[in-house]
Chains A and B, each alone.
Chain A
Amino acid sequence: MKKEFTPRITSFLCKWCSYTGADLAGTARLQYPTSIIPIQVMCSSRVDPVFLIKAFLNGSDGVLIGGCHPGDCHYETGNYHARRRFAIVRSVFESLGLESERLKLSWISASEGPKFARVANEYTEEIMKLGENPTRKSIFL
């Protein structure tokens, strides 16, 4: 029997909103796939573009950044900066013809456990459609 493809989605979650949202999804016993590999960061703006690239080149099938909704950042403006950086990375990926769909930024507040579960489910499905990241086995990278 062919083993089913389970994506691996490296997820950088802000401590104040998205990570707490993920916790809430857990305590509320909401179902979401094991593909999400959470990494807690202090703020979505802590995610240097090279984090995304490193995860991508090392074979992550998807990379997710979770941050507070615009206007709700614990540090007031961090997520605005994160959004600009994300736009830059996405543009670089598009220019070079890399799969920018493997990168995602989502605003998930601490009270949005259900939203976290939904984003995790939907994004995993999207990635399943894309299939395994070709970088995972590439010798060159």
Chain B
Amino acid sequence: MSSITIDTRASRKVRELLKFLLENGKIDAALTMRRIPENNSYDLALITDASNINEAVPLIPVMTVNAGQVLSSISTSGKKIAVVLKPCELRAFVELVKRERGSFENLLTISHTCGGVFPLDLVEKGQIEELIPKYEKTISKGEIPVNTRDTCRACEHFIPMNADITVSVAGECESEKGCMMYLNTEKAEEFAEGFAGERSEQKFDPSVLQKTLNARLAEKEKLFASMTASGPGLDQLVDTFGKCVGCHGSNSVCPICYCLLCDFESANFDYNLPYFEEHLSRRGALRLPPDTIFFHLGRLTHMSFSCVGCGMCSDVCPVGIPVAAVFKKTGEKTAALFDYVPGRDAEESIPVMVYKEEEFSDIG
């Protein structure tokens, strides 16, 4: 597999690639981040007309919605789509494919080494443009940009795992050879045929990002340690989730939570008078809305082993609960039970769908 040398403005080159693919009829649509010209903000957009591609900002460190989740509903349309995904979005989509909620068949996946994304409130305030030059400088040095999502700063999976095309952004762009676009698969070679750029046989070398990896792992230790500051147990749980208003926003933006009818949205959670009477007779008082901690614990057991740590849940939480950090920390443990890495391989089954006859001999 080959690679294409691109200049340090990698975003422009990816945009050119999307334009090339659209203009030559190689794809029907492109899914990419877009700058909204009217209001200095960003969104994720499906673009079919090549003339609209100028608005695309494929590598912008902003995630308005996890693109893996969006892709789930459009990947089976039969249309050929090129998608620009952050590594965690790609992993989230792999998790959905395992759950038969999407397909790679008609997709060309383009991903990049990721420096993390800015929280949405910074996007709302229109501060992204001024932050970006410093952000780019920081990641090119292999350091962690400030102001990004906490789970991004603590993310060790910033190299795309299964992308057809990998664009190197973090770590090596500053060097003289410029940024590179690596064509990892036959599919990528086929699509990029005829696309201008100096070719070579170079392969992606993850070792150049060792410094970034070390920095991220150290940051992860710090994040996890900070979460149990007030001691473990029920009190800590109430401390963490005490502010929860029960909006279920974390559930609706979660790319892994795919159930069409979530148990927590179902009639099982319609509270009636007997429910209140039963609880009040025992406890003497009841916190409203009820079952907010139950909701988070339930989600932790249902999907934490597939959590990709994208941070959407923390970002949309109206009361600032660090949902993503809790899920990342807990999820790493549940995934480790099965030696599982979410999004590693679409052929791998999710842990609750398979079993081994000999395992967990301490249970039972």
Contacts and interface: CB of A to CB of B under 8 A. Distances in A.
B273 interface: no
A50 B351 contact: no
Contacts of A46: none
Interface stretch (A24-32, A33-41, A76-84): A76-84
Given A59-B282, A83-B364, A88-B301, A96 B352 contact: no
B330 A96 contact: yes
Contacts of B234: 98, 134-135, 138, 141
Contacts of A5: none
Tell which of A59, A77, A84, A97 has the most Cβ of chain B within 10 Å.
A84
Contacts of B271: none
A54 interface: yes
Interface string A38-61: 000000000011100110010100
A50 B298 contact: yes
Secondary structure call for the A interface:
helix
A91 B334 contact: yes
Given A88-B305, A92-B300, A96-B236, A83 B333 contact: no
A86 interface: yes
B233 interface: yes
Nearest to A49: B301
B330 A50 contact: no
Interface stretch (B72-80, B175-183, B285-293): B285-293
Interface string B194-233: 0000000000000000000000000000000000100111
B284 interface: yes
Nearest to A97: B232
Interface in B59-101: none
A57 B355 contact: no
B283 interface: yes
A137 B231 contact: no
A139 B242 contact: no
Nearest to A135: B234
B301 A53 contact: yes
B363 A87 contact: yes
B302 interface: yes
B319 interface: no
A63 B241 CA distance: 23
B357 A91 contact: no
Given A81-B352, A92-B330, A139-B287, A87 B236 contact: no
Secondary structure call for the B interface:
helix
Contacts of A69: 364
Tell which of B293, B338, B363 has the most Cβ of chain A within 10 Å.
B363
Contacts of A86: 360, 363
Contacts of A141: 234, 287, 293-294
A140 B298 contact: no
A74 interface: no
Contacts of B293: 57, 140-141
A12 B279 CA distance: 22
B355 A81 contact: yes
Contacts of A138: 234, 283
Contacts of B236: 96-97
Contact of A54 (B233, B294, B351, B352): B294
B297 A88 contact: no
Contact of B294 (A57, A77, A105, A136): A57
A94 B304 CA distance: 14
Contacts of B285: 139
Contacts of A84: 338, 351-352, 355, 359-360
Contacts of B237: 96, 98
B238 A53 contact: no
B238 A92 contact: no
Given A88-B337, A91-B337, A95-B330, A83 B363 contact: yes
B329 interface: yes
17 contacts: A49-B298, A50-B297, A53-B301, A54-B294, A57-B294, A80-B355, A80-B357, A84-B360, A85-B352, A87-B337, A91-B333, A92-B333, A95-B334, A106-B364, A137-B282, A137-B284, A140-B238
Given A135-B234, A139-B287, A140-B293, 10 more contacts: A57-B294, A57-B297, A83-B363, A83-B364, A87-B360, A88-B305, A88-B352, A91-B333, A91-B337, A95-B333
Interface of A: 48-50, 53-54, 57, 59, 67, 69-71, 77, 80-81, 83-92, 94-99, 105-107, 134-141
